[in-house]
Structure 1
Amino acid sequence: MSKKILERKKPTVLQAIIPIVFMIVSLAVGYGYLKMKIEPIMIISAFFAAMIALRLGYTWDEMQRSIIDKITSALPATLILWSVGFLIGSLMFAGTVPMIIYYGIQLISPKFILVTAFLASAILSVVTGTSWGAAGTIGVAMMGIAGGLGVSLPATAGAVVAGAFFGDKLSPLSDTTNLAPMAAGSDLYDHIKHMLYTTVPAAIVSLLVYLFVGFKASGDMVTPELVMVMMDQLDSMFNFNIILILPIVLVILGSVKKWPTIPTMLGTSIVTVVLGVVVQGFNPVDGFTSLVSGFTISMTGFGGDVYPEVLKLVERGGVVSVTSTTVLIFCAMGFAGIVSVSGMLDVVLELLMSKVKSTFGIILSTIVSCFTVAFVTGSSYLSILIPGELFKDVYPKKGLHPKNLSRTLEDSGTVIVPLIPWSAAGAYMASTLGVSTIEYLPWAILNYTGIIFAIILAATGFGIAKTDIKEEIDENVVNQ
């Protein structure tokens, strides 16, 4: 055994960097240009890294154990993602989300169209945990109303995108909100509260700009045909009752009281299915089906032609909807496990940390890393997972709490992706809202001002959480 250890070689800087460069280039060409799936590209990158690890003296068994360890560390977040799928399916089944859409549309004021677009998208994305769902439902309605009022469509689209990703950052139901603390090694609710330091100021700046621009809007309130159709069909499908807000109250209460995340979400899902049976009169079998496969229009008994935007609203959720994210996590952990056990990651970190000494330098390096992965891959998941793995051990060693890392991952990873035209999020927002990414980019104020505030906090030290882990490590070294 000791002989094998002696035969192992420390990776050179070139050997450590090559697998990372190979992965970035492969993602740029395969995913960015050829539109291939990310998962097989990550597996190929892992094989490439494994070839170098074998030359360094590491066995496949050692690499496999490291991969398993990485996947095991990701299982808590994976279970949360599955719970999110359960909850969203039940919220659709009960009619909770459709009710929020139905009444929210009626509160729109033409003088505050941009503010309303931001707030409505933000509220819906916080409730559902999905920026895409918010943009595809209330966002589309907002664009129709803006067109009827003569309000700038790029400005409205930017407000929708900013609001949608406000919720994508802060909602405990969001996949990226769960991925970031998992990648950084922090707690979900600590992560959400810590993001308020950058997200709230960014939201305030956004609202002030939207308020100023919105006062230029004039005209009478116009209700586009799209909004009328959505409201009529939602009203025909569901019975709206104030008690349907109960699941949202339970989720918010669980966040405030710090109840265990998974039991809270699963318990709320069951309560919500019961509400769907009692209030809507739906089949309980369909309720449990919606938890797994997602909610469908057929469960409502609605017999007419359904408007496409209504379909986007209700036919979603279920644990099946998050399985692709789970597979991506496992593939990313395969690459991470190999570069970690072989010492490649350590060499890269040593090289990086030899140049970066200050808190400002560490956070700025994290932002640059997230930007690089986001621009190369166009994936919010990879812009969180890869830099998260790269900096996971750096923050505590420098006396910085892991929630600083998870916040930075979201500030510079999650929200930058919809501003990239070739990303899936950018393409979706542009096609859904009918405005190009470049046109709405200046108006998606929260998406880039959050990064600015993150840099300001890093420079001033305000809102930077410290930890005593570094001191404990130093003390243990002295005692030994």
Structure 2
Amino acid sequence: MEKTKELPSMGKVFLVLGGFLALAFAFTTLGISIHLAIFSGWFLAIGVGLSLGYTYEELEDAISDGIHNGMSAVIILLAVGALVGTWISGGIVPTIIYYGLKTIHPSIFFLATLIICTLTSLSTGTSWGAAGTAGIAMMGIGAGLGVPDPMTAGAVLSGAYFGDKLSPLSDSTILSASMSDVDVIEHVKGMFPASVVGYAIAAIGFTILGFNVGGGSTDLNRVNEVMNAIEGMYNINPLSFLPLVIVIGLLIMEKPSIPVITFGSVLGIIWGIGFQGLEPVKAIGTAWSQIPKDTGMEFIDSILSRGGMQSMLWSVGVILFGLGFGGLLDEIGILEAIAKKVEKGINSGGSLTVTTILVGFLGNLFGSAMYVSLILTPKIMEKKYDELGYDRKVLSRNTEFGGTLTSGMIPWSDNGIYMAGILGVSTLDYLPYMWLAFACIGVSIIYGFTDKFMYRVDDEATDDGMTV
């Protein structure tokens, strides 16, 4: 006879989550790979699961299901790795960097980075693709201009996540809407008031930062040296923009991202052979591992030596372990137990908004993957929204802000790992400059407590956004 299963007590919740955080902190401090901390967390969760009446087979299936649900992210990660590797060796990224250094004034560099990455992610529906193409190019331009890498990474992420959130093509947007039982377009409309205000705040901040950091302090000799080094190593040709146009065009046409990104890497191989004179075998090989570059300038070599599937394997390992851990947490009800504990204090739109965003953040913190957060948060919080009479698009909005916008803040989450690896900046270094995330979350919380744009079921919103 099957054992009766119950939600874990707060003591058991603390054992799993507190134990995992302690292991992550200790292993990181000692220089031990975070992989082992997450893997150890599996057995804390398995032990608690067994005590709650689950069989080992059920818990093992939960691990497999968690990994299965996030496999598309792993495949995209490898495909983007191949794209970056071939686009650098094929001269596509170096060409973008070269012309960027030639045309973008340092004082507007951060704003330009924000806008370029916004347009890329908005049109393609992928923050990862935007960071791996336009983002890595802007990192190179920033390095050439002499601006701090963490600031550039913050502008890249702010643009990439804004476009990703508001694009109907985005998998996170579709997942947030579907898990909340909301039409995708209604979900985007629901996010728009908070997202636009948050974006304006971030844009003003990066504009001010640009004038303070790049307004006159840039060493033009350094810029010329980088341009000369790139020109000496690559055949710079305007035709190298064509693969970027083709890939973005295909994604805009709603073609599947994995085949499109893979096709982009094939174009990179062709460009490497045709424009850079690489031997075919060597050009194909850059899809797996990049050819090390030596321009004599370490800061630009670190960018031009990135890419290839092999460079993503460390990240793939962490994501797989994290997805398995998230599957276990979902199965044994860890986050649900936390939500039930805190939902007793939810009595307004403000406390509801804060709690939802917090649950989304915890999904990333302990589930190690944005998908875990976007799947669990609506499931945990939906009853409270229905009880208080709020439209589900408020749930989907807060889920997106808590799940998508905080995903890049966690060093061991799928987004944190990917962004840090592709941009060459540690998560904790770029975290203070994720201004879009902080602004949107802050605006959403303000809306919650002031009852602005907190849409209610069967009610129409007035022109000023107040519910009636």
Of 124-133 and 67-76, more deviation after overlay is shown by: 124-133
* Rounded Cα–Cα distance in structure 1 between residues aligned with 2:425 and 2:257: 34
1:117 and 2:110 are equivalent in the alignment: yes
Matched with 1:271 is: 267
In the alignment, what sits opposite 1:300? none
- Distance in 1 (CA, whole Å) between partners of 2:210 and 2:326 is 47
8 Å CA contact retained: 1:70, 1:333: yes
| Matches of 1:234 and 1:409, distance apart in 2 | 39
Report the TM-score, using the length of structure 1 for normalisation: 0.72
3-state DSSP class of the match of 1:282?
A: coil
CA distance in 2, matches of 1:247, 1:137: 19
* CA distance, structure 1, for counterparts of residue 211 and residue 337 of structure 2: 55
Question: Could you tell me which of 1, 4, 10 is aligned with 2:2?
Answer: 4
Correspondent of 2:12 among 15, 21, 24: 15
Aligned mates of 2:208, 2:322 — CA distance in 1: 44
Aligned to 1:471: none
State the 1:142 CA deviation: 2.6
Which deviations, in whole Å up to 9, do the C-alpha atoms of 1:59-89 show, x marking residues without a partner? 2111111111111111112111111112111
Deviation of 1:271 after TM superposition, in Å, equals 2.2
**Residue 409 of structure 2 is aligned to residue 412 of structure 1:** no
Q: After superposition, where does 1:126-165 map in structure 2 within 5 Å? A: 129-130=131-132, 133=136, 137-143=140-146, 160-165=152-157
Corresponding residue SS for 2:103: coil
Cα distance in structure 1, aligned partners of 2:202 and 2:338: 38
* Alignment partners' CA distance in 2, 1:287 and 1:195: 43
- Give the CA deviation at 1:352: 3.7
What CA RMSD, in Å, does the superposition of the two structures yield over aligned residues? 4.5
The question of whether the paired residues in 1 share the 8 Å contact of 2:289 and 2:310 is answered with: yes
Q: Which moved more, 1:336-345 or 1:60-69?
A: 336-345
Assess, with a 3 A threshold, how the Cα gap between structure 1 residues 9 and 86 changes in structure 2: closer, same or farther.
Answer: same
Counterpart amino acid of 1:23?
Answer: F
Q: C-alpha distance in 2, partners of 1:165/1:219?
A: 22
Check conservation: 1:129, 1:171, Cα contact below 8 A: no
Q: What is the aligned partner in structure 1 of residue 331 from structure 2? A: 341
2:219 paired with 1:227:
no
Offset at residue 372 of structure 1 (A): 6.9
Pair 1:382 & 2:368 matched: yes
Deviation at 1:464, TM superposition (A): 7.8
Conservation of the 8 A alpha-carbon contact between 1:70 and 1:337: yes
* CA offsets 1:192-236 (integer angstroms, 9 cap, x no match): 998776555444334435556767899979653322221111111
The 1:429/1:277 distance shift into structure 2, 3 A limit, reads closer
Are 2:100 and 1:92 aligned? no
| Residue number in structure 1 paired with 2:439 | 449
* Percent of aligned pairs with the same amino acid: 20
Deviation at 1:452, TM superposition (A): 2.2
Question: 2:25 is aligned with what amino acid?
Answer: A
Q: Distance in 1 between matches of 2:215 and 2:22?
A: 52
1:333 deviates by 2.3
What are the within-5 Å matches in structure 2 for residues 188-227 of structure 1?
200-209=196-205, 211=207, 223-227=219-223
Matched residue type, 1:5: K
Deviations 1:425-476 (A, max 9, x none): 99x99999xxx969x95x764453233234345555649899xxxxxxxxxx
Q: Could you say what secondary structure the match of 2:144 adopts?
A: helix
Deviation at residue 163 of structure 1 after TM alignment: 1.6
Q: Following the alignment from structure 2 to structure 1, what is the Cα–Cα distance between the partners of residues 131 and 209?
A: 28
Contact 1:371–1:413, Cα closer than 8 Å, also in 2: yes
Cα distance in 2 between the residues matched to 1:258 and 1:465 = 32
1:260 deviates by: 0.9
Give me the whole-angstrom Cα distance separating, in 2, the residues matched to 1:229 and 1:89: 23
Any unmatched runs of 5+ in structure 1?
A: 145-155, 298-303, 418-422, 467-480
Which amino acid is the alignment partner of residue 311 of structure 1? D
* 1:164-179 equivalence runs, <5 A: 164-169=156-161
CA separation in 1, counterparts of 2:110 and 2:281?
36
Partners of 1:202 and 1:269 in 2: CA distance? 34
1:59 aligns with 2:55: yes
**What is the aligned counterpart of 1:394 among 375, 380, 384?**
380
Aligned to 1:149: none
SS in 1 for 2:229: helix
User: Does residue 1:256 correspond to 2:258, yes or no?
Assistant: no
1:83 aligns with 2:92: no
Give the partner amino acid of 2:380: V
1:413 Cα deviation from its structure 2 partner: 4.0
Q: Per-residue displacement from partner, 1:82-135 (whole Å, max 9, x unpaired)?
A: 1111211121122111111111112243xxx33223314763795751598467
Aligned residue in 2 for 1:367? 357
Change (3 A) 1:251 1:219: closer
Output the TM-score relative to the length of structure 2. 0.73
Secondary structure at the counterpart of residue 57 of structure 1: coil
Give the AA of the match of 1:240. I
CA contact (8 A) 1:294 1:317 kept: yes
Cα distance per residue 1:331-352 (max 9 Å; x no partner): 1222222233334444333334
Q: Deviations over 1:250-296 (max 9, x none)?
A: 23223322211111111222123212222222222122111111343
